[in-house]
Amino acid sequence: MDMKTRINQALKDAMRQKDAQRLSTLRLINAAIKDRDIASRSEGEEGGVGDAEVLQILGKMVKQRQESARAYEEGGRLELADREREEIAVIEDFLPRKLSDEEVDRAVDRAIAETGAGSIRDMGRVMGALKSRYTGQMDFGAVGPKVKARLG
């Protein structure tokens, strides 16, 4: 079952269960996917949004909510920070499990070997390979310095 179908099924289940919090978050996810779908059609791309793009959208949504939760905590708005974390939990239900540090290290080594990267100038190719294969499974902000250290 593709990601859009899974999300739509979860939306229907949330409606049946009258879970307002989950329903609200799932509607936000659907809206973000439809926005990307419309944007890709206007650029002349056919086929709509695929699973890889849905994973990118979900990853971006989690990152935005983490930043919002931090800002709310710093501002003393703990109830809003909690709401952001609840949304993160719903979104993460659709993301693949995060890789452990050892798995990330092995993935970085494999990507470096596969791309034939030999210097820091090849970092873009390595990161591209990692993003194409591990979207949603690793924090690329943390992976970048690891790649840079291995290539530098």
Is it the case that residue 1 has pLDDT exceeding 80?
no
N-term to C-term CA, the chain: 41
CA distances in angstroms from 51 to 36, 118, 122, 133, 148, listed in the order given: 12, 31, 27, 12, 28
Closest CA to 103 of 67, 143, 65: 143
**Six token digits for residue 3:** 């990601």
- Other beta carbons less than 10 A from residue 15's beta carbon: 14
pLDDT mean over 30-35: 93
Q: Which domains does the chain have, with CATH numbers?
A: 3-92 (1.10.1510.10), 101-151 (1.10.10.410)
- The gap from C-alpha 71 to its chain's centroid, in whole angstroms, comes to 20
Contact 96, 58 (CB under 8 A): no
What percent of the chain has pLDDT above 70?
Answer: 98
Q: Residue 6's pLDDT is what? A: 93
CA atoms within 13 A on the CB side of 148: 6
CA–CA distance, 48 with 94 (Å, rounded to integer): 19
DSSP single-letter state for residue 60? H
Residue 81 has pLDDT above 80, yes or no: yes
Q: Which of 19-23, 58-62, 73-77 is predicted least confidently?
A: 58-62
Distance CA 21, CA 19 (A): 6
